[in-house]
Every structure is written in structure tokens, then in C-alpha cells.
Amino acid sequence: MDETTDLLEGSKPPKPADYMPEAIQKAVVHRGLKHPSTIYPIALGVSAGIVGALFEAPLFLGAGLLLGLVGPAWAVYQVFFRHETLGSQYLESLHRHQKKYEQYLIGQIEAGLKTCAGKESLAQYADTGLAQLENIQTKLANVKELLGMKLKTSEITHGRFLGAAEQVSLSVLDNLNSVVGILKSAESIDPDYIASRLKDIAGKSKHSAEDETQRISL
């Protein structure tokens, strides 16, 4: 099982809430606080401060104080002065995640519809599904092109609008995937057997409970 299959089966694509300002702000703060330039100076500062206190070494105490200030200062810089950059990086990671999910889903849908298209009774429905699949991909590509013309890809606004368009596309793909499942189920139905069995049941002078249950299910 490849990485993309694991992605589809083991995780879910981004949700609309992931593109909201609150989620973006939370991601920016998280990245600012978890950045190595935030964590390491604080850790080194605490260590230097402990050494300075134990051995009464002013140099270590001063270094500890300085390093202890560098970490939080860097976090403030990241959150307040690099908000646009970090927010765009967060949205780009969502986009990559969703893209992998979409590509796998499109492959599954396309393969399923092409299989169904080979069945005479399902060909019309499968062809309609393939046309819809191509249509939604074309529309999404057009939206991406339009956004690229109006906004810079590094802007948070671009990422949010792109995310909204991808969510709509994913909704359509999920519906098509459900249709593929229905068509595959219909593919296993044998009309000749059903007609023959109903005829046999109708020809009986007395119907058992099992016959009645089967007649209803058929």
C-alpha cells in the first residue's frame, strides 16, 4: 500500500474550518512558539542560568538572561511580523494534503466509471459521471487560474479562496465516488435471474414466508 493510499484510508482531507482565520491564527502562533529559534535559546538560557546560580557565575547568569529573552522575542517576531508568511505556509500545507487526497479519489472514480462504462446497461450513467468528473476538474483549474491573476500565491487570501474552491470540488468528487459505488452494486444484479425467480414464485399456488420475503427483496 503506497503513501497516497495510506493518506486516504488513514486520514481525512482538510475541513472548511481549517481555512478560517481562527485556524490560521492558531497555526501561526503554534509555528512561532515551536520554532527552533524560540525553543533552543530558552532551553540554553535556563541551563546557563542554573549553572550561573549554582556556581555564582555572573557571566552565565547574564548569558542565561539574554538567551531567555531571545526566545520569546523571536516568537513575537514570528507571530506578529511574519504572520502572512507563516499563514501562507500553513495554507499551502493544507493544499498539498488535499491535492494528494483529490488525486487518489479522482483515480478511483475514473477507474470505477470506466469499468462500468464497459457494461451496456450502465454505460450511459458512467459516461455522464466521466463528463462530470472532467467538468469539475476544468472548473477548478479555471478558478485557480483566475485567483493567480487576481492575487499573489503568497497571500493568505489566495490560500483561503483556493481552499474554498477545493472544498466544493471535493464535495462533488465525494458524490461521484458514491455514484460509482451504486453503479458497481447495480453491475452485480442479474435481470434475467430476477425475472426468472419472480416468475417461479408467481407460478406457485401457495407462497411460503421465504418466497414472500424473496419476492419483496427482488
For residue range 126-150, what is the model confidence (pLDDT) as tens digits?
A: 899 999 999 999 999 999 999 999 9
> What pLDDT, on the 0 to 100 scale, is given for residue 202?
64
Distance of alpha carbon 79 from alpha carbon 126, whole angstroms: 50
Greater pLDDT, 191 or 87:
87
> What pLDDT, on the 0 to 100 scale, is given for residue 179?
87
With both helix axes pointing from N to C terminus, report the angle between 83-117 and 58-81 in degrees, rounded to the nearest 10: 50
The residue among 191, 187, 189 whose CA lies nearest residue 179 is 187
> What pLDDT, on the 0 to 100 scale, is given for residue 167?
92
Q: What is the CA radius of gyration of the chain?
A: 30
Greater pLDDT, 185 or 7:
185
Residue whose C-alpha cell reads 474552491 in the numeric block: 165
Residue 8 pLDDT more than 60?
no
Distance of alpha carbon 125 from alpha carbon 134, whole angstroms: 14
**Using an 8 Å Cβ cutoff, are 154 and 85 in contact?**
yes
**Using an 8 Å Cβ cutoff, are 68 and 46 in contact?**
yes
**Residue 138: C-alpha distances to residues 108, 111, 132, 169 (Å):** 18, 19, 10, 10
Distance of alpha carbon 38 from alpha carbon 32, whole angstroms: 7
> What pLDDT, on the 0 to 100 scale, is given for residue 212?
64
> What pLDDT, on the 0 to 100 scale, is given for residue 7?
44
* AA identity, residue 25: Q
**Which of 15-24, 50-59, 160-169 is predicted least confidently?**
50-59
> What pLDDT, on the 0 to 100 scale, is given for residue 3?
46
| Buried-exposed string 88-102: b where 16+ CB fall within 10 A, e elsewhere | bebbeebbebbebbb
- The mean pLDDT value for 53-60 works out to 88
Helices H / strands E in the chain, number of each: 9, 0
Q: What is the chain's mean pLDDT, rounded?
A: 84
Q: Per-residue confidence at 185, pLDDT binned at 50, 70, 90? A: confident
> What pLDDT, on the 0 to 100 scale, is given for residue 197?
55
Q: Per-residue confidence at 199, pLDDT binned at 50, 70, 90? A: low
> What pLDDT, on the 0 to 100 scale, is given for residue 73?
93
> What pLDDT, on the 0 to 100 scale, is given for residue 217?
53
> What pLDDT, on the 0 to 100 scale, is given for residue 183?
82
Residue 117 pLDDT more than 70?
yes
> What pLDDT, on the 0 to 100 scale, is given for residue 209?
67
- Residue 16 cell numbers, joined: 472548511
**Using an 8 Å Cβ cutoff, are 170 and 150 in contact?**
no
**Residue 5: C-alpha distances to residues 101, 104, 110, 164, 212 (Å):** 9, 7, 16, 24, 43
Greater pLDDT, 182 or 111:
111
